[in-house]
Structure formats: C-alpha cells, structure tokens
C-alpha cells in the first residue's frame, strides 16, 4: 500500500462513489487572535493505492501531532483501511480517508501532523500557527 497524496483542508467529506469534496484544501497556516487557541476541526485528506495482491491484506493508518517545541501526541489509535477489489485486476485499488481533528494550540510555530501507514511514516503535513492581534 502506498500513499498517493495527503493534504490539510478546512473541511472535507467523501461520497459513496469514493470522491472527496474539499473546502480550503491545501491550508498550511492559521492566524489566531490569541494563544492558547482552540480552532475548528481541520481535515486530513489522504488517498491510498494498493496493488491487486495487497487488497486482501490488513492495512492501518494513524496520526501524531508534533508541536513547535517537539512534543509528540498520538491522535487516536491505528484505524484500518479497507480496499475493494476493482472489477479489472489490472487496476490498482484506491481508498480515500478523511480524518478530522480539533486542536488547541499553545504556542506559535510549525506544527506537524504525521501520517503513518502500516506503522511507517508516510507523510508529515505542516501547519504554521501565528498569533495576530487585532489593531485597536
């Protein structure tokens, strides 16, 4: 199984047809009025590809958050990924995953959301947080 792509979005959802709809796809930064700040959920959107011989194997994903100071927090337990076998065995199977997380940011800087597939680091998505005070 391979990660085809992964990105952050303000919101995302998948359809029964396996398509994904995004709002604010590709977001990589956020300005907050004051820290610490709780933000609305951010979506992690990822598409995985499995070769025909990998479809019946067990696969999982999990996430971690790394703060600017280096603190690592697990974002839940590993979750299974299910692939369906395409009708044409010459095609790879695809699975789209959307995970939503609400974060409380305590400091400015680069936060990283790490995506692991089958316990191997597949992608690190950066989100830059800045405190932007409103002019008086």
The domain over range 2-131 is classified in CATH as 3.90.25.10: no
Alpha carbons 18 and 20: distance in angstroms, whole number: 7
Find, among 123, 73, 60, the residue nearest to 103 by Cα.
Answer: 73
Q: What is the pLDDT along the chain (136 residues), one digit of tens a residue?
A: 899 999 999 999 888 777 889 999 999 999 999 999 998 899 999 989 888 888 888 899 999 999 999 999 999 999 998 887 777 766 788 888 889 999 899 999 999 999 999 999 999 999 999 998 766 6
Instruction: Please report, for the chain, the start and end positions of each structural domain, with discontinuous segments joined by +.
Output: 2-131
Kindly provide the b/e burial profile for residues 34-69, where b requires at least 16 CB atoms within 10 angstroms of the residue's own CB: eeeeeeeebbbbbbbbbeeeebeeebebbbbbbbee
Decide: pTM greater than 0.85: yes
């Amino acid at each position: 199984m391979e990660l085809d792509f992964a990105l952050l979005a303000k919101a995302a959802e998948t359809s029964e047809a396996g398509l994904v709809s995004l709002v604010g796809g590709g977001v990589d930064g956020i300005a907050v009025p004051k820290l610490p700040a709780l933000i609305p959920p951010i979506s992690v959107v990822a598409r995985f590809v499995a070769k025909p011989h990998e479809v019946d194997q067990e696969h999982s994903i999990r996430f971690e958050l790394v703060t600017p100071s280096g603190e690592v927090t697990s974002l839940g337990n590993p979750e299974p990924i299910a692939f369906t076998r395409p009708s044409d065995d010459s095609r790879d199977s695809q699975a789209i995953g959307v995970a939503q997380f609400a974060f409380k940011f305590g400091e400015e800087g680069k936060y990283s959301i790490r995506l692991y597939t089958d316990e191997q680091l597949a992608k690190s998505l950066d989100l830059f947080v800045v405190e932007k005070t409103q002019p008086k």
